[in-house]
Structure 1
């Protein structure tokens, strides 16, 4: 059997990012960008989360009922610059954790600075650098049942692969642009 061209195989990194983006959205985050590039590198996902509005905070403290969808601006918005590491079993780099070297962190930080320069309206938001660890496993064609393993935050299947968001690490590393 001849080897298939690389374009035939799925990009498991992108599929892992898809899973993390879907999970973030399901937990209230808004995806602003995917694969944001700069001369320094790329950020896999840039997401925004709105905190409570001032009215919501005062109402909660007073125990009042809150009218949903109030037009007041949201305070305490957060930006997350998310690095996604998708790995199969037996990966050499601790499931992707050791791939977040100080050099990689610096590249992500510089790229985040470029993002904030391009979107100055978000420059006052609190920022953090998150890491998502996704486990990828090829599903044999003759497998009829999925065997339960360690609990995952989210799962998906695509192109004969099963993906599990095993760990999401908020504020995984510090940066000079961290203003929160």
Structure 2
């Protein structure tokens, strides 16, 4: 149980770092940790007429980041994004699924439009 709590805490730290990074890039954070029956979206951000549903992965090493995201996880986020779109998109808005990868000592990596489904 202790490891699970540590992982949860580390995930929240990663999400906070990702949210600040997005803000610095001109994004407005609309929501954090939104749960749906299809899955969870870590961050929902908007810049201009683009809404990004963002999956954040934080790992202990950069090497672990290579295995942090896969088709299954992206599919889950995409399904959750589809179910949430009506709440966050305005007429004329576009949406996409992004991934932010974080590891200590490494530059944050933002993968735009990670889901093409």
TM range (shorter): 0.7 to 0.9
**Higher share in helix:** 2
Length-normalised TM-score, structure 1 = 0.56
What does residue range 161-180 of structure 1 map to in structure 2 within 5 Å?
A: 165=108, 167-175=109-117
Aligned residues: 115
SS in 1 for 2:67: helix
CA distance in structure 1 between the aligned counterparts of 2:61 and 2:67, rounded to whole angstroms = 15
Question: Given that residues 78 and 115 in structure 2 are in contact (C-alpha distance below 8 angstroms), is that contact kept between their aligned partners in structure 1?
Answer: no
Give 5+ residue unaligned stretches, structure 2: none
**Quick one: distance in 2 between partners of 1:113 and 1:44?**
14
TM-superposed CA distance for 1:35, in Å, is 0.6
Contact 1:25 1:31 in 2 (8 A): yes
1:14 corresponds to which residue? 12
Tell me, what secondary structure is at the counterpart of 1:88?
coil
* Structure 1 stretches of at least 4 aligned residues deviating more than 4 Å after TM superposition: 5-10
| TM-score for the superposition, normalised by structure 2 | 0.83
Task: Give 1:106's match in structure 2, choosing from 75, 85, 93.
Answer: 75
| 2:55 alignment counterpart | 83
Alpha-carbon distance, 1:100 to partner: 2.4
Q: Which of 96, 101, 117 in structure 2 is aligned with 1:128? A: 96
Say which SS state the counterpart of residue 26 (structure 2) adopts. Answer: coil
Cα RMSD of the aligned pairs, angstroms, is 2.4
- Structure 1 position 18, deviation (Å): 0.3
Give the aligned partner of residue 143 of structure 1. Answer: none
Cα separation, 2, equivalents of 1:42 and 1:8: 18
Structure 1 residues 102-128: Cα deviation after superposition (integer angstroms, max 9, x where no partner): 222221111111111334x53641111
Query: Any unmatched runs of 5+ in structure 1?
Result: 51-76, 137-148, 153-164, 176-180
Question: Is the Cα contact below 8 Å between 1:117 and 1:123 reproduced in 2?
Answer: no
